[in-house]
Structure 1
Amino acid sequence: MLIVESFEEYESYLGKQLGISQWHKIDQEQINRFADATLDHQWIHVDKTKAENEGPFKSTIAHGYLTLSLIPYLWKQIADIRNTKMEINYGIEYFKFGQPVLVDHEVQLKAKLISITNLRGITKVVIESILCIKDQPKPAYTGEVVFLYHFN
């Protein structure tokens, strides 16, 4: 795991791969809980029988936004940003979904620092984020996550 304690230390990783998370299995229970939380009960996500018989993937699939919502969890497996007063999820940019994540498939996040800026004491970082699907050639998505850090 990467440990960062200052702007200068973070800046030394510019253009470099920061790490890769552990694999995370997305099961039907997680998909159903996400559907309940977001009120998105589209059958392709929650109706196993219909998805298997009528769906294009012959399986239920994770919501695209469920896979995006895993970023904070998976990011914390990659980097421990210390010596901060606050960390803010500032934005997501240029995200493209490459292929759906079928139920019971495993995903992992790959992260690369592509930009770092000191905004009068606030550190803004842009992290290239790729969500890989185990044993699949195409990622679930690629895009950029923007975080703000208030270092002490």
Structure 2
Amino acid sequence: MSAADKLMEFLAPQLDTEIHVGPWLAIDQERIDRFAAATGDVQWIHTDPERARRESPYGATIAHGFLTLSLLPYLTESNHPDFFPRNYPGMRLRVNYGLNRLRFPTPVVVGSRIRARTHLLATERIEGGAQITYRLTVEIEGGEKPACVVESLYRVYE
């Protein structure tokens, strides 16, 4: 049996279940400003706290949706050194293959705390490995709607 077949067998009992809830992360103005500087997206609703307090419907600055998205490796803890061998035993490489159905239902107001929930949606055997689809939901502490919901696809190879 190949490593990819063993992985598929390993993941099968977890299909259609929530497999991880990540740590809370506070979103502060410094993080928002650094993201704005890195991307060139310096729209006032993200970078001008005084104007946002006066003119924004949220009464404060908000994080960029793509900032929230970019934090998924941290929020899912997939950047932790033990993540790969624990979740993809026998495999040697994982690559981000893409996204489906990306939505930002509600903004992340500065000072909020967010975390991600990971739901294993599907696995599929591909040449030399497997494709894995997760639904990642970024929730805002105390919020009714999520900040981000996305299907994320990864390919892992033997």
- Counterparts of 1:72 and 1:90, CA distance in 2: 14
Q: In the alignment, what sits opposite 1:18?
A: 19
- Deviation per CA, 1:58-102, whole angstroms, max 9, x where unpaired? 100000000000111122269823143211111111011110000
SS in structure 2 at match of 1:67: helix
Q: TM-score, normalised by structure 1?
A: 0.90
- Counterparts of 1:62 and 1:15, CA distance in 2: 30
SS in structure 2 at match of 1:84: coil
Q: In the alignment, what sits opposite 1:145?
A: 152
Given the alignment, which residue of 122, 135, 142 partners 1:128?
135
Q: In the alignment, what sits opposite 2:93?
A: 86
SS in structure 1 at match of 2:11: helix
Structure 1 residues not aligned, in runs of 5+: none
SS in structure 2 at match of 1:76: coil
Q: 2:75·2:115 contact (CA, 8 Å) conserved in 1?
A: yes
Q: TM-score, normalised by structure 2?
A: 0.87
Q: In the alignment, what sits opposite 1:61?
A: 62
Given the alignment, which residue of 117, 122, 125 partners 1:115?
122
Q: Which moved more, 1:9-18 or 1:43-52?
A: 9-18
- Counterparts of 2:147 and 2:95, CA distance in 1: 24
1:96-111 pair list within 5 angstroms? 96-111=103-118
Task: Give 1:123 shift.
Answer: 1.2
Task: Give 1:113 shift.
Answer: 0.6
SS in structure 1 at match of 2:75: helix
Say which structure is richer in helix: 2
Divergent runs of 4+, >3 A: none
Structure 2 residues not aligned, in runs of 5+: 1-5
- Counterparts of 1:76 and 1:7, CA distance in 2: 21
Corresponding pairs, count: 147
Paired AA for residue 113 in structure 2: E
SS in structure 1 at match of 2:92: strand
- Counterparts of 1:24 and 1:124, CA distance in 2: 28
SS in structure 1 at match of 2:107: coil
